[in-house]
Amino acid sequence: MRRPQKIAVDVAIVGAGPAGLLAAQAAARAGAWTLIIEAKAQVGWPNHCAEWLPGLVLGQGQVPAEAPRARVGELECRAGQTRAVARVAGVVVDRPTWQKALAEEALWWGGSLTCRARALGLDEDGRLLVAGPAGRFAVRAGAVIVADGALSPLARALGLGRQAGAPAINLEVEAGPRPCRPAVEFWPELFGYGWSFPKGATVNIGLGGVTLGRRRLPALLAAWRESLLAQGLIGPGVVRRGGGWLGHDGPRAAFVRGPGQTPLLLCGDAAGLGHPCTGAGLPQAVDSGLLAGAAAADLARGVAGAGPAYQAELTARFGQYLGRGLAARQGAWALWRADWPAAARRYWPLWPAEAGR
């Protein structure tokens, strides 16, 4: 039997989503020898997202000019006859373009990237085991960043448990003859919501949440697509189909020590930073990725306090925000069957207050 190849780096990063790519950038900038391991053949593709990015991320200069495809200034919120318009600031971004630029930046700073490589777990000495395109290899790292998304296969392999959540599906479809406004929509049979985000020549439409009636998510999406098509708000052509998992447990421990005392830093969706109601997690992925990368570089050079400090910083930044999201989710669930439009107003954090939230 061939022995697995052995590699040593300062920081190993599992997952080339926004969290992992920004972590790689931050760690490499801090002088760490960095390796990103990504299961997909191509960074950012296939893409499973509705691609709405709130404006605060743009302010951090992390999005290249060519990635945003449409501005979002207003968001229509609909639950039956209850309607309101929220003022928001953000863009619909083309995620493959954005992530390609993030990857290029990380590589420019000296990181390296292996695609078609799946992290399997840590061996008893704390080495990261990877199944790559040319066979298995083991990575000895001063710190490992777990940025492998809401289902986090690596966290599960390490016995850190699975986050509760709900499925979501997205279609990118042709734009229709009439302008489609950015909108979220609620229905009684979905404890969750639907979205339509125009993206220039296309529109992202999708649904995420727990179905309460007999119809499953694909059937509900097909019905909604028919209605948007009949109103001329979208065209018939489908450009892309995607879907994924929206974690709704809230944050989990983001700094732990694995086998062999290897420091593990969880970030982005893997750390439970997706919003418990909306499922939106891109801003948190950006922030936590940058923090995790800097902390991992410190840990790799022996700064033991960097792990607890990372955990404390995440709690300070997102604890209250995600805690309010969890409470809103619980409150909305308790009310849903009795008065789902009122519950939807409680559920959706951007529902304008003057509309009776």
Ligand X SMILES: Cc1cc2nc3c(=O)[nH]c(=O)nc-3n(C[C@H](O)[C@H](O)[C@H](O)COP(=O)(O)OP(=O)(O)OC[C@H]3O[C@@H](n4cnc5c(N)ncnc54)[C@H](O)[C@@H]3O)c2cc1C
Of 118 and 357, nearer to ligand X (C-beta) is 118
Of 142 and 149, nearer to ligand X (C-beta) is 149
CB of 280 to ligand X, least distance (A): 3
Of 16 and 332, nearer to ligand X (C-beta) is 16
Cβ partners under 8 Å of residue 21, min gap 6: 36, 43, 99, 102, 103, 105, 106, 289
Exposure string over 300-319, b if 16+ CB within 10 A, otherwise e: beeeeebbebbbebbeeebe
Cα-based distances in Å from 203 to 33, 128, 209, 228, 238: 40, 40, 20, 11, 10
Specify the residue for token string 């990063």. Answer: 13
CB of 339 to ligand X, least distance (A): 27
CB of 137 to ligand X, least distance (A): 13
Of 18 and 307, nearer to ligand X (C-beta) is 18
CB of 62 to ligand X, least distance (A): 12
Of 15 and 250, nearer to ligand X (C-beta) is 15
Of 112 and 301, nearer to ligand X (C-beta) is 112
Of 59 and 334, nearer to ligand X (C-beta) is 59
266 closest CA partner among 282, 246, 252: 252
Cα-based distances in Å from 178 to 83, 229, 252: 20, 10, 43
Cβ partners under 8 Å of residue 187, min gap 6: 194, 220, 340
- DSSP 3-state of 121: strand
CB of 93 to ligand X, least distance (A): 9
CB of 332 to ligand X, least distance (A): 19
Q: Which residues bind ligand X (CB under 6 A)?
A: 14-20, 37-40, 48-52, 118-119, 147-149, 153-154, 168, 170, 206, 243-244, 246, 268-270, 274, 279-282, 285
DSSP string, 162-211: ---EEEEEEEEEEE-SSPPPPEEEEETTEEEEEEEEEETTEEEEEEEEEE
CA 304 to chain centre: 28
CB of 235 to ligand X, least distance (A): 20
